[in-house]
Structure 1
């Protein structure tokens, strides 16, 4: 068999295994949500004292931060009331304004499925109802935190499922809350963000086997971390689960992350940790019963995500995960993995 024939067979094998591995489900093709949120046209048409507003499509988050720093409180509040979806998703805007804007935006949808996002005390840092919806929620005081961690989830996560009943330490919000608690919760100095800021695959079919959605997500993740930097947050730790680790792998060189942790990863679209092109420390974890181990670590014709990050050849630091159960048990209370994640998030590991 020639080289081309072997390539086709390998690609077909990868697709077949991805589609048939126990625990994986056939997925529907998703159109990634990109660009600024609804309301951007009205925002661009508005002005403040005759000055144009920062374009939500391409304004640098630091530029956005400087713009808001020059406004008084009354003007800021008026922009929130007039353009909640834009302000709520505008990286670089002051955190309290984004929380209030997203509360108003969630209420304005008029949909009961989003009402819980507007509950008192919640810190919703991003909310975009387009498609299946995107959402980011903060646990802790992001504005005053000495350390910040961002949980980047994998398939089947969106704004619709953000508040769906799950085991408490699973799903983006559950993982973030468990990590925040493990770092000391309200008594600690670490904030954790559950970031479902990209269109995730549904199930694990060709979308999850390919990089199209991850590439779109990487752009959004890089901009999100730039927004954290613009408001004075410390360099974040990225904890990237499953397909989320593909997003983090593609975004790595474009973020200021201090540490990047791949857990339950099918690969990061790089042969080695060094090839990610980041100054961050790179970590990897995989539990003994995680079915992700059955997914071929190949990347052929756009299918598959490459080297297993837990393999010695990849060169990542290993996170202990011998007591992790299944694909979603990494943040379960009492596990060695959660304790390690908390230590990394707090900067306690050298």
Structure 2
């Protein structure tokens, strides 16, 4: 005999109401100017990555450093000390930026490790509220992951899109992620052409999982790792049309667990990111992400970082207590 559907748990109901309220408030101001809109000159370094031999990489790193310095001078002239300080940090000795563009909020792609000798590469795709101004957040995660990996591995921090604000309509639908996926796919094609024998993993955090999911069918990544995902915009792994192994993990103290997994039409747009990637119906392979919060996946010494590194290294991570899939 059929049973009546279970009512929403109180915290899920509160989260749903909060999500709808945030969308209602954020909707009218989505197009408003943002503090990240700091004018910058057009970059001079080549936008396309053709070669990763040592000499080519050193020339590219030098060219992007000049572009960052030019953007810093522009920020100083405008009196934007926060942006100038962030860019100053990016010009430090040893930094390896593959691309940089300070316009339209800023884009930056940085390598950690020697790409010319790498056998495994993790491409780290950030979620909401990561900008040039607080790029250190992405850098910290990339450095921690690189330190956890074996020799002849590299990490690429890919801030290749304008991330949405956490509390905004843009973070509650897939439009920004679909657009960003085009840029990510193009970069991955270039990387694959330059390094055809390298095993590449996509390591995707929060809203970055939306970007990775929409790029999956155009990627040759061996693994796609979804960390703290609020949803990807897809109902299941099959809809991603990828040969990669799709992994999903969520810390037990991550607030994203309370995000409602639904999609609602709101006139010309929609709200919600769909199925929970940790549900058994989604079909991802679960890994233990420990007891951390939403910002703790790359925390040094954490269970989540250790398991993410094991996946990138081609080794089995600790699985969830529920078995093959997280429920």
Partner of residue 146 from structure 2, selected from 180, 184, 187: 180
C-alpha displacement of 1:88: 4.4
Tell me, what secondary structure is at the counterpart of 1:126?
Answer: strand
Are 2:240 and 1:276 aligned? yes
Question: What TM-score do you get using the length of structure 2 for normalisation?
Answer: 0.78
Within the alignment, does 1:197 sit opposite 2:160 as a pair?
A: yes
For residues 243-254 of structure 1, what are the structure 2 equivalents within 5 Å?
Answer: 243-254=207-218
Residue 17, structure 1, aligned to residue 18, structure 2: yes
Distance, in Å, in 1 between the alignment partners of 2:63 and 2:17 is 45
Match of 1:63 in 2: none
Instruction: Encode CA deviations 1:1-43: one digit per residue, 9 max, x unaligned.
Output: xxxxxxxxxxx9987432668xxx969526999xxx964xxxx
Counterparts of 2:260 and 2:177, CA distance in 1: 18
Segments of structure 2 that go 5 or more residues without pairing to the other structure are 1-12, 76-83, 318-327
Aligned to 1:5: none
1:179-328 alignment to 2 at 5 Å? 179-184=145-150, 188-232=151-195, 234-301=198-265, 302-323=270-291, 325-328=292-295
* 1:264–1:286 Cα contact (<8 Å) kept: yes
Deviations 1:278-313 (A, max 9, x none): 110000001111110111111222211111111111
Paired with 2:31 and 2:63, the residues of 1 have a C-alpha distance of 27
Q: 1:132 to 1:19 in 2, by over 3 A?
A: farther
* 1:191 CA displacement: 0.1
1:238, 1:329 → 2: CA distance? 18
CA distance in 1, matches of 2:193, 2:263: 36
Equivalent pair of 1:210/1:303 in contact (CA under 8 Å): yes
Match of residue 29 from structure 1: 30
Whether the 8 Å contact between 1:30 and 1:202 is mirrored in structure 2 is: no
Matched, 1:130 2:131: no
SS of the residue corresponding to residue 232 of structure 2 reads coil
Residue 132 of structure 2: aligned partner: 159
Of stretches 94-103 and 124-133 in structure 1, the one that deviates more from structure 2 is 94-103
* 1:85-141 deviation per Cα after TM superposition (whole angstroms, max 9, x unaligned): 243432335433321211010112213331221211110112110122111111111
Written as runs of structure 1 = structure 2, the 5 A alignment for 1:67-106 is 85-92=43-50, 94-106=56-68
Tell me the distance in 2 between the aligned counterparts of 1:278 and 1:182. 27
1:220 offset after TM fit, Å? Answer: 0.5
Partner of 1:236: helix, strand, or coil? strand
| TM-score in terms of structure 1 length | 0.73
- Who is 1:346 aligned against? 313
Asked if the contact 1:309/1:315 (under 8 Å) is kept, the reply is yes
C-alpha distance in structure 1 between counterparts of 2:68 and 2:91, whole Å: 6
The higher relative CO (CA closer than 8 Å, separation ≥ 6) is in 1
Q: Is the 8 A contact 2:124 2:155 kept in 1?
A: yes
Aligned mates of 2:187, 2:297 — CA distance in 1: 24
1:335–1:13 distance in 2 versus 1, CA, 3 Å: closer
Q: Does 1:337 align with 2:301?
A: no
Aligned-partner Cα distance in 1 for 2:237–2:186: 22
